[in-house]
Amino acid sequence: MDRAVLSASVTIALMALASALMPSVQAKENPSQLLDAGLRLADQQSDPARKSCLPQPEGRWRWLSFDGNRVVEAAILDEIDGFAKTANTSGGLGGPLVIVNDPGDFDQSVGDKPIPGSLRAVVEARARNGTAAWIVFDLPPNTKITLKRSLGIPSNMTIDGTCSGVTIDGPLKVPLFYIHNQRNVLIYGLSFRKTDYLPNPEADSCIRLNGLVDAVAVLHNNLERCGDGVIDITTSYGQPLPDSARITVAYNRISDHDKVMLFGTFTCSLNSGSKCDESDLVRNRKMTPTLSLTLAGNLFIRTTQRHPRVYGPVFAHVVNNVVAYIEYGTFVSNGARALIEDNVYLPLRARTPPIAVWTTTSEGAMRMDWDVLGFIRVRNNPRIAGEIIDQIEPEMVPQPPYDLQIVPIHSMPTERAIGCIAARAGIHGGAKWNQQLCFSP
């Protein structure tokens, strides 16, 4: 046989073998069908104690330990990973257990009288006296708390919805939970949505972080139909940047929403800080990111865009998420840095070719007149349907300053990878990775 022909035959054989070993071999399968199959696997494997919140002999607050009325240990703190863990986020640990037992809300600005035992009453009381608190709910299952206006969350607070079934909703144009210039906050185990959802630029988020924030963890929540954003983490134009903002958003189930998450700074030179040019890129190259996000183990279902949108002098570690998207996955711009590893991006009704991870210079990039490029390092993200997963100047992207148990998404069938993430995501998700789905051979 001619040597060139032999070489070509060997090359083709090796390529075929590599294709057989990679999850991207499933590119011809329907992404919606893969998603449904993965969700079914999760339903079959989820932790039954967490999923049903069955009564336990240890009592109602069985995940907490007390010294008198003070919360001194909490099992859910063990689930804080990533940047929030490096900040020693503990929420209201050490403070008293405070129980919400009234689903009402009030707005004193329009003459409403305070409602004792309501979520607003207990949160605002702790904000006034500046003390830590661990807030839980003693309400009938599936109770809805409709906020009349935004609820500011103070420092050193946990809002713990474990096994409560509580949903927080409210008007389209206000953020439901607003964390502004606060630190050491944990939001856990709640459902969020807006009463009158429409994709609307005048709307606001379900959870909004702004300003000099640090040590914030948002874990195991269900969020859907939230207004403009689901969770937005930003600094405002003309305001100082935090010295270090360390945030973890993990193990949440986010669905049926348009613009999911902003993570960035309005620090550019044009149009009140929102429009960047090459001079801003030069400056941001030299800056050390001051906002850092771990986005891990989240399940995004039928969401359109911004998973997240990362911009300005920030760093995002996006790992072990399932992103079943409609328009695009993750967009990085304006000198932001992002490490994207072991995620599943599923284009449900996306453009051709689908765009999963991209910046302004990527192949097939949408026109973004107000943005310049960002820096992306990608690792082990399988291409399910031939989508674009771009990498640009990866040497500009640092390694996170922590160890994290990463599920090897790239080495398993796609439906099993989806099931693994889904089994841990949301209010009924497991407290640990499901060993059979995530790590068994």
Q: What is the pLDDT of residue 366?
A: 87
By the 8 A CB rule, do 254 and 303 touch? yes
Q: What is the pLDDT of residue 13?
A: 36
Q: What is the pLDDT of residue 298?
A: 98
Q: Which residues of 367-405 are buried (b: 16+ CB within 10 A; e: fewer)?
A: ebeebbbbbbbbeebbbbbebbbbebeeeebeebeeebe
CB atoms within 10 A of CB 37: 17
Q: What is the pLDDT of residue 110?
A: 93
Cα 39 from chain centre: 19
* Residue 67, CA atoms < 13 Å, CB-side half-sphere: 5
Q: What is the pLDDT of residue 21?
A: 34
**d(Cα 357, Cα 345) in Å, to the nearest integer?**
9
Among 33-37, 202-206, 342-346, 379-383, which stretch is predicted with the lowest mean pLDDT?
202-206
Percent helix, strand, coil in the chain, to 5, is 20, 30, 45
Q: pLDDT per residue over 347-388, tens digit each?
A: 998 678 899 999 999 988 988 889 999 999 999 999 998 899
pLDDT at 7 over 50: no
* Residue range 407-411: mean pLDDT, rounded: 96
Q: What is the pLDDT of residue 51?
A: 53
Among 7-16, 53-62, 212-221, 232-241, which stretch is predicted with the lowest mean pLDDT?
7-16
Q: What is the pLDDT of residue 422?
A: 97
Among 13-17, 42-46, 258-262, which stretch is predicted with the lowest mean pLDDT?
13-17
Q: What is the pLDDT of residue 47?
A: 65
What percentage of residues in the chain have a pLDDT greater than 90? 75
* Residue range 295-311: mean pLDDT, rounded: 97
Q: What is the pLDDT of residue 337?
A: 98
Q: What is the pLDDT of residue 27?
A: 43
Q: What is the pLDDT of residue 8?
A: 34
| Neighbouring-strand partners of residue 347 | 325
Q: What is the pLDDT of residue 48?
A: 59
Among 16-20, 131-135, 294-298, which stretch is predicted with the lowest mean pLDDT?
16-20
Q: pLDDT per residue over 155-180, tens digit each?
A: 999 999 999 999 999 988 889 999 99
Q: Which of 165, 170, 259 is nearest to 221 (CA)?
A: 165
**d(Cα 304, Cα 240) in Å, to the nearest integer?**
31
pLDDT at 56 over 80: no
Query: What is the rounded average pLDDT for all residues in the chain?
Result: 90
Q: What is the pLDDT of residue 1?
A: 37
Q: What is the pLDDT of residue 173?
A: 86
Q: pLDDT per residue over 248-262, tens digit each?
A: 999 999 999 999 999
What percentage of residues in the chain have a pLDDT greater than 70? 90
Cα 355 from chain centre: 19
